[in-house]
Amino acid sequence: MKIYRKKSIKDLIPDEIILHPIYGNDGVLFLKRYSVITNSIIIKLKKYFPSSAEIIVTHNLKTFEIFEDSRIFEDRNFLESLKIIVGKFNMYTSEDLDFEDYIDERAELNKEEIVIVNDHKENKTELEKFYNYPLWESFKQIFDSQHLINRISIIKQLFFERIEQEQILKTYYKELESYHEALEVSSINTCIVSIMIGLTLELRDEQLIELAIASLFANIGFIRQSKDEYFTYVKDGEHTETTIKHIKNSVEIISSSYIGKRKNIVMGILDHHECVDGSGLPNKKLGNQIHLFAKIISISKLYDQLVRGFFGRKTMKSTQALQYIWEQRGRTLDKNIVKVFIYRTNIFKINEEYTLPDNRTGKIIGFTDYINFPLFPIILLNNGEIRDLYFERKKPD
């Protein structure tokens, strides 16, 4: 009986189990290792990646148990197959992800076997995995300032030290992780992107720690709600009653920690569903009535929802998601925060490679209006065709 096999995305069927993580083209975790394939996941994968792209799966839970019990995750043949898959998937990402990011942390390897030494412990915690999450490395790729790059490791270290100091924060993170994969991944992505934005706004170290905690636990309230309620929310989008309930629960939970009582953290969570045009929840606040942290978290949360296709939204490439966010500035999102973040990062640069939604590639050769539309470059495709995304953009309603 074959325990695992390579399959193209177009041939996947529900209940198969993916044997490696999948990352988006910006380093955001798209699917965790050992996720059970569902119809919804298949649809999202087909939208985000070429249908011919291959992944490694096992047929069902029975074969997965054999995979685990026999420790096939460290078998040489499996790792060689995985190495090929990783090489192909890295064609779809702008981040330089290491092969080690795809290997099960329990694998005991040596240089002769796979050209990499994995010294992770058997009982590596979820918090340690969070610390080594590949999205952290994307900071170094997108920032245009050495000053910002130098602050990354400092803030990251301070943030995790703070979590280690308060056992209750570690407990809450464990509850996020055990509640459901979608909640954990969304919380991690939102946290890291929020720190990115906070750095471009030159927040002080302690403010960045508070922002990180607020963004990581902004949705912790769902652990007090049924999974059916959460799944409906994830699938269909925000519902007034569900949204207000989880905001209230999140504030109550985080306030039971020492640092979570701070005003910045409480208000960041309380306001993170508010919109600058007054259409948000729970209090329909306008503009500057909304806390700074909440404005940041709302951008990070939206980005995660767009690239992963959750909360009633269509799955988008990272470039499409950023373009959508740019168009929302001054409407639902704070225009100044969006502008500062975009202008202080190397999102798009002349001569950089660019991938269109249909996966055709080319390079950026210029901009029609960089000042007002920095996310809509002119692309010279590999076939010689020129596409000006400024003229192809969706006009605001």
Q: Residue written as tokens 């700074």? A: 292
What is the DSSP secondary-structure string of 182-243? Answer: HHHHHHHHHHHHHHHHHHHTT--HHHHHHHHHHHHTTTGGGGGS-HHHHHHHHHH---HHHH
**CATH of 126-343 given 3.40.190.10, 3.30.43.10, 1.10.630.10, 1.10.3210.10:** 1.10.3210.10
Question: How confident is the model at residue 397, as a pLDDT?
Answer: 44
Q: How far apart are CA 353 and CA 381, in angstroms?
A: 9
What is the C-alpha to C-alpha distance for residues 358 and 127, in angstroms, rounded to an integer?
36
CA–chain centroid gap for 358, Å, is 21
* 3 state SS of 370: coil
Q: How far apart are CA 322 and CA 317, in angstroms?
A: 9
Q: Distance (Å, rounded) from C-alpha 172 to C-alpha 130? A: 14
pTM (predicted TM-score): 0.81
Name residue, tokens 């649809």: 43
> Rounded to an integer, what is the distance from CA 222 to the centroid of its chain?
19
- DSSP code, position 396: P
Q: Is the dihedral of CA 226, 229, 232, 238 positive or negative?
A: negative
pLDDT on residue 303: 92
Do the beta carbons of residue 99 and residue 109 sit within 8 Å?
A: no
Query: What's the average pLDDT block by block, 10 residues per block, for the chain (397 residues)?
Result: 91 94 80 90 84 91 93 92 85 69 80 41 66 83 83 93 92 92 91 95 96 98 92 80 94 96 98 96 96 97 86 75 90 94 82 85 94 92 95 70
Report angle CA 303, 253, 288 to the nearest 5 degrees.
50
SS (H, E, C) 48-115: HCCCCCEEEEECCHHHHHHHHHCCHHHCHHHHHHHHHHHHHHHHHCCCCCCHHHHCCCCCCCCHHHHC
Give the pair of three-digit tokens for residue 118: 């994995």
Domain boundaries, the chain: 5-114, 126-343, 353-392
